[in-house]
Amino acid sequence: MDGLQRQRLKIRERNYRPYLWLKNANMKLELLINTIVVDYAIKIVSDRTKGDAKRQIEVEERAKKKVKSTTTSNPGF
């Protein structure tokens, strides 16, 4: 390999580097979606489910209190 060919190869490799970097970055993004984002999605769904269950209990307790207060204020009820 002469000097010119070596120089051409060096330039080709240098030009190719950003392309490789981009491919690696895409791979990282794909893996990131399958790790942190999935964890976050699970957390959101779990929090929402817990929140819904808590709200349901509160609604039921309020309803019970309401029934109790209605029956005590109207003994004939």
* C-beta separation of 77 from 70 below 8 A: yes
- Count of residues that bind another protein according to CB under 8 A: 14
Restricted to residues 53-72, the positions that interact with another protein (CB under 8 A) are none
Is 24 one of the binding residues for another protein (CB under 8 A)?
yes
CB nearer another protein, residue 29 or residue 59: 29
CB nearer another protein, residue 32 or residue 63: 32
Is 35 one of the binding residues for another protein (CB under 8 A)?
yes
Residue in the structure block whose two tokens are 């399958």: 34
Rounded CA separation 21/13 (Å): 12
Residue in the structure block whose two tokens are 């039921």: 60
Q: Please provide the size of the chain in residues.
A: 77
Binding site for another protein (CB under 8 A): 20, 23-24, 26-35, 38
